[in-house]
Amino acid sequence: MSILSALRLTRAPGVAFVVMGLFWGVFAAHVPVLKDRLAVDDGTFGLLLLSSSLGLLTTMWIAPRFDRALGPRAMPVAALLLAVSWVGPGLAATPLAFAAGMVVVGMASGILDVVMNARVSQIEARHGRSLMNANHGLFSLAYGLAALASGFTREAGFAPETVLAAVAGLVVLALPLLRMAEVAAPAPEGPALRLPLWPVVLCGVVVLIAFLSEATVESWSALHIERTLGGGAAQGALGPALLGATMTLGRFGGQALAEKLSETAVIRVAVLVSATGAAIAAAAPVPVVAYLGFATMGLGISVIGPMGLALAGKMVAPHQRAQAIAKVAVIGFGAFFVAPVLMGGLSELFGLRAAFACVGGLLLVVLVPVAALRRRAAAVAAPA
């Protein structure tokens, strides 16, 4: 019941999370096709993917102004921009054209991402509930279904641009559902409180590593299954599809856990689960074992990012929640700047097995900031 009520409260931003998941799920399943079309090696392809991160990080700073200027129209306009932006990468036949197209995709994704997360944050502040997991679960569900469906469309011979155009058509039909006014909590009277910096930065590091791990599986799992383990197109698409499915289960389950357990406790367990999954995927001798690894990673990674965002909101005054989460998002989405270079470089030098093993080691680093955040959370909750 808590999941359904959370989705009812966040109906409009929930649709935006679905839109984002559909596009990136289609893209993830078509990575092998796009890479072959461009005729580049792993390192070069990683650098090309980096171009989307440049666009993403740029718009993280202009998105709040975009939101204030358009108000209730911010989410539908951002979703439409995202749909149009995918035309470039879908049709690109050269590395330069693909890079330019991904910059535009990154800019549009950045705008929509900031606006929809800000809306959820504002609703959280108004109702006093943790709602991030349910909405991120919608993203994962849409991502997994889109990736799975794209595996079948690839087998049927449909080009990436055709599938992306079909998703864009669905988005246009859904635009009226995205209209929503801001519901930010007013600041209290008296001297302005200063946003505590170091807890926000530590939460940003947690979200950064979570999103980095997620991005590596999204963009490289299909290639690992098809090239390293000799799987076919449908088998390759099943890698990111399984990630999306298990992340959906993990995030919807995390929505219920967030109302019973502390964020730091759940994050610690999730880190160990996801690191184990990365090790399984790295050592997998056949695709079915890699599926087990990616599924396990999905269960663990699923709750780390959303709970990192929710934890940031709990450590500041109610009217500062949107501001804190926006800053954490800026840090966290740096993952999409690091992930292409990290995976492309490691794969080029040592292979995809070593690359996924390094991701597992990086996930364990999350335990360090979480220990400090646990002490901060206890101090905030203690009576004055």
- What share of the chain in percent tops pLDDT 70? 91
Provide the pLDDT for residue 191.
47
Q: What is the pLDDT of residues 98-139, one digit of tens each?
A: 999 999 998 999 889 888 887 887 787 777 777 888 888 888
- Across the range 231-258, mean pLDDT stands at 78
Q: Which domains does the chain have, with CATH numbers?
A: 2-177+195-381 (1.20.1250.20)
Provide the pLDDT for residue 185.
54
Q: What is the pLDDT of residues 50-78, one digit of tens each?
A: 788 788 777 767 877 788 788 888 899 99
Question: If pLDDT is split at 50, 70 and 90, which confidence band does 380 have?
Answer: low
Q: Does the structure show a pLDDT above 50 at 153?
A: yes
Please indicate whether residue 259 or residue 111 has the higher confidence score (pLDDT).
Answer: 111
Provide the pLDDT for residue 332.
86
Q: Does the structure show a pLDDT above 90 at 252?
A: no
Q: How far is CA 348 from CA 8, 65, 246, 294, in A?
A: 46, 40, 29, 21
Q: Does the structure show a pLDDT above 80 at 276?
A: yes
Averaged pLDDT score across all residues of the chain: 83
Alpha-carbon distance 238 to 235, whole Å? 5
Q: What is the pLDDT of residues 163-205, one digit of tens each?
A: 999 999 999 999 999 988 665 555 555 545 566 778 888 999 9
> DSSP secondary-structure letter at 72?
G
Record the pTM.
0.76
Q: What is the pLDDT of residues 260-274, one digit of tens each?
A: 777 788 899 899 999
Q: How far is CA 347 from CA 26, 33, 44, 356, in A?
A: 23, 18, 11, 9
Alpha-carbon distance 259 to 266, whole Å? 11
Q: What is the pLDDT of residues 299-336, one digit of tens each?
A: 898 889 888 887 887 777 766 666 677 778 778 877 87
Provide the pLDDT for residue 113.
86
Alpha-carbon distance 193 to 317, whole Å? 8
Provide the pLDDT for residue 384.
42
CB 280 within 8 A of CB 217: no
CB 302 within 8 A of CB 140: yes
